[in-house]
Amino acid sequence: MIANDLFRKLSCGAKFTSKHKLPIKRKLDSVETAAAPKVKVCLKNETDDDDDQPNVTLPSGSKNIENAAKDIEIKSEPESDVSGDEQQRSRKSKGSKKKVIDAVKIEQQKVSRLNQLRKELKIHVKKSRYSPEVPNIIETFDQLSTDFGVTSRLVSNITACYSTPTPVQMQAIPVLMKSISLHAYAPTGSGKTAAFLIPILHHLKKPMKCGFRALIICPTRELAKQIQREALRLGDEMNLRTHVIQTVDDPKKSDYSFSSGRSYDILVTTPNRICYLLTQSPPKIDLSNIQWVVIDEADKLFEDSKHSFREQLDTVITACNNPAKTVALFSATQTREVNEWVAKNIPSRIRFSVGLMNGAVDLVEQKLLFTGTESGKLLAFRELVAQGLHPPVLVFVQSKDRAQQLFTELIYDGLNVDVIHADRTQRERDNVVRAFREGKIWILICTELMSRGIDFKGVNLVINFDFPPSTISYVHRIGRTGRAGRPGKAITFFTKDDTVNLKSIAHLIKSAGGEVPDYMLQLHGSSKKIRDNVARKAPKRAAIRTLPTFEYQQLQRKKRFVSKSKGKTKPSTNRKDDKSKKTVQQPTRANHRGSKK
Ligand SMILES: Nc1ncnc2c1ncn2[C@@H]1O[C@H](COP(=O)(O)OP(=O)(O)OP(=O)(O)O)[C@@H](O)[C@H]1O
Domain of residue 427, CATH code: 3.40.50.300
pLDDT of residue 569: 42
Measured in Å, residue 469 CA sits from the centre of ligand 1 at 25
Q: Please give the Cα distance from 395 to 421 (Å, whole number).
A: 12
Q: What's this model's pTM, rounded to 2 decimal places?
A: 0.78
Looking at the domain assignment, is residue 457 inside a domain? Answer: yes
Q: Coil, helix or strand for 49?
A: coil
Output the residue whose Cα is nearest ligand 1's atom 1. 165
In a domain, 414, yes or no: yes
Quick one: 411 exposed, middle or buried, by C-beta within 10 A (0-12, 13-18, 19+)?
A: buried
| Domain limit, last residue, from 332, 354, 376 | 354
Residues 6+ apart with CB under 8 A from 566: none
Residue 475 C-alpha from the chain's centroid: 14
Quick one: 185 and 250 in the same domain? Answer: yes
Which own/partner pairs from 253-256 qualify as long-range (CB within 8 Å, at least 24 positions apart)? 254/284, 255/284, 256/211, 256/212, 256/284, 256/285, 256/286
SS3 296: strand
Same domain, 332 and 371: no
Answer yes or no: do 302 and 425 share one domain. no
**Does a structural domain hold residue 480?**
yes
| Residue 384 belongs to some domain of the structure | yes
Confidence class for position 358, pLDDT limits 50, 70, 90: confident
Residue 59 scores a pLDDT above 70: no
> Residue 151 and residue 159: Cα distance in Å, rounded?
12
Residue 56 lies in a domain: no
- Whether residue 364 is predicted with pLDDT greater than 70 in this model: the reply is yes
Residue 569 located in a structural domain: no
Nearest CA to ligand 1 atom 8: 191
Helix (H, G, I), strand (E, B) or coil at 452: coil
133 and 218 in a single domain? The answer is: yes
Q: What's the 334 CA to ligand 1 centre distance in angstroms? A: 18
The pLDDT tens digits of the residues spanning 503-531 come to: 999 999 999 999 999 999 988 878 888 88
Greater model confidence, 87 or 341: 341
Question: 380: closest CA among 367, 398, 391?
Answer: 367
- The Cα–Cα gap between 105 and 39 comes to 18
Q: How far does residue 37's CA lie from ligand 1's centre (Å)?
A: 53
* 587, pLDDT greater than 70: no
Bond preceding residue 219 cis, omega within 30 of 0: no
Residue nearest to atom 3 of ligand 1 (CA): 162
Q: Provide the angle, in degrees to the nearest 10, between the axes of the packed helices 192-204 and 167-177.
A: 30
Centre a 10 Å sphere on the Cβ of residue 57 and count the other Cβ atoms it contains.
Answer: 14
Which residues approach ligand 1 with their CB closer than 6 A?
Answer: 162, 165-166, 169, 186, 188-194, 332, 453, 455, 479, 483-484
Closest CA to 461 of 335, 342, 369, 591: 369
In a domain, 483, yes or no: yes
Q: Rounded distance, CA 597 to CA 595, Å?
A: 6
CA of 193 to the centre of ligand 1 (A): 6
Please report whether residue 336 resides in a domain: yes
User: Where among 536, 563, 592 does a domain terminate?
Assistant: 536
Residue 382's domain comprises: 364-536
Ligand 1: residue whose CA is nearest its atom 22: 192
Q: Identify the domain boundary among 536, 562, 584.
A: 536
* Cα angle, residue 211 at apex, residues 209 and 214 outer, rounded to 5°: 120
How many domains does the chain fold into? 2
In 3D, which of 298, 292, 46, 297 has the Cα closest to residue 177? 292
Which residue owns the Cα nearest ligand 1 atom 15? Answer: 191
Distance CA 124, CA 118 (A): 7
Are 432 and 528 part of one and the same domain? yes
User: What is the distance in A from the centroid of ligand 1 to the CA of 186?
Assistant: 11
Which residue, judged by its Cα, is nearest atom 23 of ligand 1? 189
The answer on 284 and 415 residing in a single domain is no
439 Cα–ligand 1 center, Å: 20
Measured from the Cα of 479, ligand 1's closest atom is 26
> What's the CA-to-centroid distance between 167 and ligand 1, angstroms?
11
Which of 144, 155, 192, 228 to probe ligand 1 with, by most ligand atoms within 8 A of CB? 192
Q: Counting atoms of ligand 1 from 1, which one is nearest the CA of 188?
A: 25
| Residues 322 and 414 both lie in one domain | no
| Confidence check: pLDDT of 501 > 80 | yes
Residues 514-536: b if buried by 16+ CB within 10 A, e if exposed = bebeeebeeeeebeeeebeebbe
